[in-house]
């Protein structure tokens, strides 16, 4: 993509994985080699190795924007007015192992002290890392092992460094499965300060998705099903105060295929998620404060932060379970 469209695409490596594979990012913009005063939106996939479909959706978003740039006025306006970052494969080592050895592998390929392998990258971010042993596990053999310390893994460190260097306006992290759009908080069953905004965004994304193939995505606070600490969207919202959503892609449950998607499903899932991605890009552009180089809080529906935004003196719910996020 970058080689074919160098005027609007720049390919870079954010760093290398534990096994020295590149963690690639595509930057799509009208001046991809420059840093402009524009909203920046990121779409990430494959924190978890077995969630193959989460790679395909951000790649299709990139392909759609690039292919339609010259002939679609909406796409051209989006690309000319923003910077779109596509990081389709956060966990390249895990994906390679999932493809070649064990299809249901989830974590990265860290060799732990007890001889087991893997850290759950979506428990390795610093925000409320290790807050309890329900939202993540201290046990290296667990599917939700959080690592020895926050950002112990080169994969999460690469994402951290990107976000500390680029002032993003909104983020979607793709996972599978359950057909759900999730928003913070994940670490505790508490409303985020921007919960009303998150509900509005998630509902609109779900509505747009349903119009393509008729598939219904539920919307919910991430902690409503189970607790997750040290995860990506909590870290993004907690540190940068921007909308950060997880989209759990189809199918809806194990009986419908779980982590296994047919080729036909892959194409339809990618297609139905395009309108939602375009909407979020339009939203980021319309709410961007060019003078300050950040989101304009007055244009985020003039929402006031709720008491749930305070992270002190809150009671963490003492129930939870391991899940697919």
Question: Which tens digits make up the pLDDT trace of 71-105?
Answer: 999 999 999 999 999 999 999 999 999 999 999 99
Question: Which tens digits make up the pLDDT trace of 136-169?
Answer: 999 999 999 999 999 999 999 999 999 999 999 9
Residue 320 pLDDT: 27
Structural Rg of the chain based on CA atoms: 19
Q: Which of 60, 153, 248, 272 is catalytic?
A: 248
- Is the pLDDT at 251 greater than 60? The verdict is yes
**Banded pLDDT at 261 (limits 50, 70, 90):** confident
Question: Which tens digits make up the pLDDT trace of 27-75?
Answer: 999 999 999 999 999 999 999 999 999 999 999 999 999 999 999 999 9
- Is the pLDDT at 215 greater than 50? The verdict is yes
Query: For 5-20, what is the mean pLDDT?
Result: 96
Residue 322 pLDDT: 33
Residue 256 pLDDT: 61
The architecture (CATH level 2) of 9-309 comes to 3-Layer(aba) Sandwich (3.40)
Among 166, 139, 174, residue whose Cα is nearest residue 245 = 174
Residue 47 pLDDT: 98
Q: How far is CA 192 from CA 154, 198, 304, in A?
A: 29, 9, 11
Q: Is 248 annotated as catalytic? A: yes
Please state, in angstroms and rounded to a whole number, the distance separating the CA atoms of residues 81 and 263: 33
């Amino acid at each position: 993509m970058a080689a074919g469209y160098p005027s609007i695409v720049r390919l870079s490596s954010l760093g290398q994985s534990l096994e020295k594979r590149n963690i690639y990012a595509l930057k799509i913009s009208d001046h991809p080699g420059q840093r402009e005063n524009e909203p920046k939106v990121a779409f990430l996939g494959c924190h978890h190795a077995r969630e193959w479909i989460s790679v395909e959706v951000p790649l299709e978003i990139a392909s759609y924007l690039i292919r339609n740039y010259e002939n679609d006025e909406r796409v051209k306006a989006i690309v000319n007015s923003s910077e779109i970052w596509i990081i389709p494969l956060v966990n390249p080592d895990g994906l390679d192992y999932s493809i070649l050895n064990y299809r249901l592998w989830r974590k990265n390929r860290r060799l732990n002290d007890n001889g087991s392998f893997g850290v759950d990258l979506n428990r390795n971010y610093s925000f409320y890392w290790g807050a309890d042993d329900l939202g993540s596990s201290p046990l290296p053999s667990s599917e939700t092992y959080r690592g020895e310390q926050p950002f112990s893994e080169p994969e999460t460190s690469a994402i951290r460094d990107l976000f500390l260097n680029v002032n993003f306006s909104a983020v979607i992290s793709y996972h599978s499965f359950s057909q759900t759009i999730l928003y913070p908080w994940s670490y505790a069953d508490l409303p985020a300060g921007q919960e009303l905004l998150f509900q509005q965004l998630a509902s609109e994304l779900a509505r747009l998705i349903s119009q393509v193939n008729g598939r219904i995505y539920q919307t919910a606070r991430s902690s409503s099903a189970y607790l997750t600490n040290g995860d990506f969207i909590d870290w993004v919202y907690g540190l940068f105060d921007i909308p950060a959503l997880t989209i759990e892609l189809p199918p809806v449950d194990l009986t419908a295929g779980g982590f296994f998607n047919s080729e036909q499903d892959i194409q339809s899932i990618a297609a139905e998620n395009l309108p939602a991605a375009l909407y979020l890009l339009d939203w980021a552009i319309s709410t961007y404060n060019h003078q300050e180089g950040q989101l304009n809080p007055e244009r985020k529906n003039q929402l006031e932060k709720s008491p749930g935004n305070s992270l002190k003196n809150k009671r963490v719910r003492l129930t939870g379970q391991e899940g697919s996020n």
